[in-house]
Amino acid sequence: MQAYDLSQTHIVTPAEEIALSTNQLQVYYGNSKHASMSDASLSFPRFQITALIGASGSGKSTYLRSLNRLNDRIARIKGEIIYRHTNINDSKVNVYEVRKHIGMVFQKPNPFAKSISENITFALKAQGITNRQELKQRVETSLKEAALWDEVKDDLNKSALALSGGQQQRLCIARAIAMKPDILLLDEPASALDPISTTKLEVTLKELAKNYTIIIVTHNMQQASRISTYTAFFHLGHVLEYDRTERIFQTPMIQATHDYVTGNFG
Amino acid sequence: MDDIQKKLMSPSKASREDITGRIISYTCIAAIIILVISILYFITSRGVATFTTNHVNLWQFLSGEEWNPGTLNDHGQPQVGALPMIVTSFSVTILAALLATPFAIAVALFMTDIAPKNGAKFLQPVIELLVGIPSVVYGFIGLTVVVPAIRHIFGGTGSGILAGTIVLFVMVLPTITSLAVDALRAVPAYFRSASLALGATRFQTIYKVLLRAAMPRLLTAVIFGMARAFGEALAVQMVIGNAVLMPHNLVTPTATLTSQLTTNIGNTIMGTLPNNALWSLALILLLMSLVFNLIIRYIGKRGEIKS
Amino acid sequence: MTPHQSDRIATQLINLLVGIVVLILLFLLGDIVLSGFPHISWHFLTSPSSSFSAGGGVRDQLFNSLYLLVLTLIISFPLALGSAIYLSEYAGDNWFTGLIRTAIEVLSSLPSVVVGLFGYLLFVIEFHMGFSILSGAIALTFFNLPLLVRSIEGSLHAVPNSQREAGSALGLSNWRTIRGIILPVALPGILTGIILSAGRVFGEAAALIYTAGQSAPLLDYSNWNPTSSSSFLNPMRPAETLAVHIWKVNTEGVTPDAVSISAGASAVLIIVILIFNFGARAIGNQMYKKMTGGK
Ligand SMILES: Nc1ncnc2c1ncn2[C@@H]1O[C@H](COP(=O)(O)OP(=O)(O)OP(=O)(O)O)[C@@H](O)[C@H]1O
Ligand SMILES: [Mg+2]
């Protein structure tokens, strides 16, 4: 792979209202002295979709999973994550609350081995919501938001594991948005899906962006350009460029970004 | 807005749940640690009383051939020589392992490499069943089948090291076999195919590649079998004869550490020398099981580095 | 000798050894079946034992074995579950975890007679619990714990990490994720482990002869008051189990029909253990099917 100058970066701060930002975020896995993510300072605009792109191993998942402190057990994370004027990367902060507000959907669909409706109600019940009417309502709304309702409304008591991969992934999205989060993190949510399911998912995400701030990791550059407003380019654990999506894809400032989006990379 | 900020900074139901969970699971694990420490402590403190309270010389204990804790010898010292039992325990253990290992490895090879389909289908459940047969049943069969047969052939009572060895051989065979099967299955398939592709015969592959690659785990299997044999009490006690005599051949009655313990601990009074001496035997058993453990760990570490 | 000749000879040697082992197995099973089964009768299973005359049964011993098993599982399962949860969900990768694992390994490698003697020393004598079902159950718990911890930990470990992440990402506490998501998925494996360990506990004798004792006082099966000394439910009474009974009648040599009683009792032991083995598999498969929605 060509060696790019990692110190040359181009990072903008969006003019929109900021929902979440990181300041000099560094991630060290295990006891490693090597930072798998170094000095990432990004700000994510509210009610927009931001895409994180970059080659495999560039640190996109590492960065994304740090945002809701899911890496806590396996990595040391330095720097600040600012959410609602609070640095949530602080041992005093209640991580469970953080994760309620910052939901996540993973690359591989991971529904619980429970029925479709229980998948959604399980965490709600844990929060103390016991009213059956309300639970039912939340199941219906979130499944509708995730564009799954029509396909499963008669099978709510069936095992979620009997759904297709694409349906499972949309159930996972429904499960996440049933918590009414502020921000939704998605790590390559479409990588296990066929083209039709992927298109459905993109439409769903666009729709969701009206009410949620979305940060999505994707390998698919068409996807990034189709759905996102801002795009960040990751390379070897560094964010080299962050700007509006059309600028990243049409007039990138950094050589590495240019090579990556034009397919001349590596 | 401020409300959410406040929530972010304060403990919630979830944090309390997690404390509960931690308390519960930490308590359980603490109980196990305390248990192990107290077993080690109690057996050790009882076991050393023979030497600290009754002032028996450790060397005499380990090398003496007379076991008669109730009486004093000509020098006015208690007769607590554990050598006959130590020798017998090691004899039955080593002989049983020597006997069982070739059979176990043959059966394991049969199941993994020679007839992996039908052999494994038939033998696997049978071996699992045999691992589960209680030791008293083995002892009973030894007592009704093995001992009379030995008596018939060699005369005497039929009890002794040979009977003990045969019973232990049958007992540890399934244990060693099932671990050996795991060991051989853990050798990656490409080891086999690479060797066969180079024109080696099946036997050469087995001998030069398979057994070597699996050697650390096979050794572990054998040590596991030995640990089981060394600690086995009732099955051996039923066929060994229970006379504390230095074994001079394989077919006269003798006693192992475990058989002596089970036969006599109920007949002695706590705190007296005959009782303390028995606890010293228990201490030897405990230490030996630690030794077996260490050997298994050592082999495990060595095996890791090699592969 | 050419490589091919040695190959043939080696293969034949292996086949020979396997043949001998199969013969031993057939003999063992045949012996148990042929000498044991004819002695199993309704009378054998339902009459009390008699020491000095022939014709005794194993009613009380069988009941004692089952009672002891239930009590042992009641004590050991929660402890094992909590410990396994610690090991699979909370333990870090550090020296302390290493120490715990070593402790558990040591416990599992202790000869059962040593475990029994420890129980004798601490519970029967120091705590004045006497030869009792409770002392026996505690000793069997020590004997059973390491195996059970390992099998439960294995079942928990087999649950994919993505399930834990899914729970965490929803803001669930680890504890609720474990209880509500991980445990149900691991349940078939856990149950299988419990039942298999039950087979081992059921046949154990060495740990019991000095804890639960070697006598079977006459039991009153109509007395349901566990504090009354003749009640079959009283956990403080001495209780000879089936396995201990086999050992006892053979070593004491005062029972005239010791051989046929032992043969019958051995067969009963094996049948129960077989039932446990098959039961474990059946339940495991059944639950697995149910959980995965028939897929
Ligand atoms: N759990 C972990 N422990 C140690 N190192 C890790 C772990 N997860 C990721 N890494 C390392 O961190 C670096 C970044 O990995 P990461 O998974 O964030 O990349 P990615 O951009 O998401 O790649 P992909 O597109 O393949 O998902 C890699 O070098 C990887 O080896
Ligand atoms: Mg990734």
CB-based contact (8 Å) between C169 and chain A?
A: yes
What does the pLDDT average to over A46-63? Answer: 94
- Residues B171-202 have pLDDT tens digits of 999 999 999 999 999 888 888 888 878 877 77
pLDDT attached to residue B121: 83
Domain membership flag for residue A37: yes
* Residues with CB in 5 Å of ion ligand 2: A 61
More reliable by pLDDT, C2 or C149: C149
Query: Given A110, A122, A126, which is nearest C165 (Cβ)?
Result: A110
Amino acid at C59: R
Q: Say how many Å lie between the CA of residue A187 and the centre of ligand 2.
A: 7
- Closest C-chain CA to B203: C7
Q: Say how many Å lie between the CA of residue B122 and the centre of ligand 1.
A: 45
What does the pLDDT average to over B217-246? Answer: 93
pLDDT confidence of C1, banded at 50, 70, 90? low
Contact, A110 vs A163, CB < 8 A?
A: no
Residue count (chain C): 295
Q: Say how many Å lie between the CA of residue A57 and the centre of ligand 2.
A: 7
DSSP conformation class of A112: -
- Mean pLDDT score across all residues of chain C: 89
Asked if the Cβ–Cβ distance from C82 to B25 is below 8 Å, we say: yes
Q: What percent of chain A has pLDDT over 70?
A: 99
Asked if the Cβ–Cβ distance from A68 to C169 is below 8 Å, we say: yes
pLDDT attached to residue B1: 53
pLDDT attached to residue C291: 65
Is a pLDDT exceeding 60 seen at residue B306?
Answer: no
What does the pLDDT average to over C119-143? Answer: 93
A38 alpha carbon, closest ligand = 1
Is a pLDDT exceeding 90 seen at residue B97?
Answer: yes
- Residues A203-260 have pLDDT tens digits of 989 999 999 999 999 998 899 999 999 999 999 999 999 999 999 999 999 999 999 9
Nearest to B30 by CA among C71, C82, C142, C144: C82
Q: What percent of chain A has pLDDT over 90?
A: 76
What does the pLDDT average to over C93-112? Answer: 92
Q: How far apart are CA C43 and CA B235, in angstroms?
A: 28
Chain C contacts of B27, Cβ < 8 Å? 82
pLDDT attached to residue C73: 95
What does the pLDDT average to over C283-291? Answer: 75
Q: What percent of chain B has pLDDT over 70?
A: 98
**pTM across the whole model:** 0.90
CA diameter of chain A: 59
pLDDT attached to residue B224: 94
Is a pLDDT exceeding 70 seen at residue C3?
Answer: yes
Query: Given A83, A94, A101, which is nearest B12 (Cβ)?
Result: A94
Chain B contacts of C122, Cβ < 8 Å? 38, 42
- Residues C38-79 have pLDDT tens digits of 888 888 888 888 777 777 888 889 999 999 999 999 999 999
Q: How far apart are CA C233 and CA C221, in angstroms?
A: 8
pLDDT attached to residue C293: 53
What does the pLDDT average to over B40-46? Answer: 94
Q: What percent of chain C has pLDDT over 70?
A: 98
Cα radius of gyration rounded to whole Å, chain A: 19
- Mean pLDDT score across all residues of chain A: 91
What does the pLDDT average to over C188-206? Answer: 91
DSSP conformation class of C220: B
Q: What interface predicted TM-score (ipTM) does this complex get?
A: 0.90
pLDDT confidence of A119, banded at 50, 70, 90? very high
Whether CATH 1.10.150.130 fits C62-292: no
- Mean pLDDT score across all residues of chain B: 89
pLDDT attached to residue A1: 61
What does the pLDDT average to over B103-130? Answer: 86
Q: How far apart are CA C47 and CA A223, in angstroms?
A: 78
Q: How far apart are CA C241 and CA C113, in angstroms?
A: 16
Q: What percent of chain B has pLDDT over 90?
A: 56
Backbone CA torsion sign across A13, A19, A23, A29: negative
Is a pLDDT exceeding 60 seen at residue C295?
Answer: no
A213-217 vs A49-54, strand pairing mode: parallel
CATH number of B83-302: 1.10.3720.10
What residues does each domain of chain B span?
83-302
Query: Given B38, B132, B233, which is nearest C277 (Cβ)?
Result: B132
Chains A, C: CB contacts within 8 A come to: 73
Is a pLDDT exceeding 50 seen at residue B129?
Answer: yes
pLDDT confidence of A176, banded at 50, 70, 90? very high
pLDDT attached to residue B211: 86
Task: Specify the residue for token string 């990556």.
Answer: A260
Nearest to B25 by CA among C100, A91, C162: C100
Is a pLDDT exceeding 60 seen at residue B307?
Answer: no
Number of domains in chain A: 1
Q: Which residues of A touch C (CB under 8 A)?
A: 68, 70, 96-100, 103-104, 106, 108, 110-114, 122-123, 126-127, 158-162, 172, 175-176, 179
More reliable by pLDDT, C228 or A221: A221
- Residues A138-160 have pLDDT tens digits of 999 999 988 899 999 999 999 99
pLDDT attached to residue C192: 87
Is a pLDDT exceeding 70 seen at residue B305?
Answer: no
Q: A35 lies in which domain range?
A: 10-114+188-261
Q: Looking at residue A60, which CATH number applies to its domain? A: 3.40.50.300
Q: What percent of chain C has pLDDT over 90?
A: 54
Domain membership flag for residue A105: yes
Q: Is A27 in the pocket of ligand 1 (CB under 6 A)?
A: no
Asked if the Cβ–Cβ distance from A94 to B11 is below 8 Å, we say: yes
Q: Is A57 in the pocket of ligand 1 (CB under 6 A)?
A: yes
Chain B contacts of A88, Cβ < 8 Å? 8
* B71-85, B260-274, C144-158: least confidently modelled range: B71-85
End-to-end CA distance of chain C: 55
Domain membership flag for residue A221: yes
Is a pLDDT exceeding 70 seen at residue B70?
Answer: yes
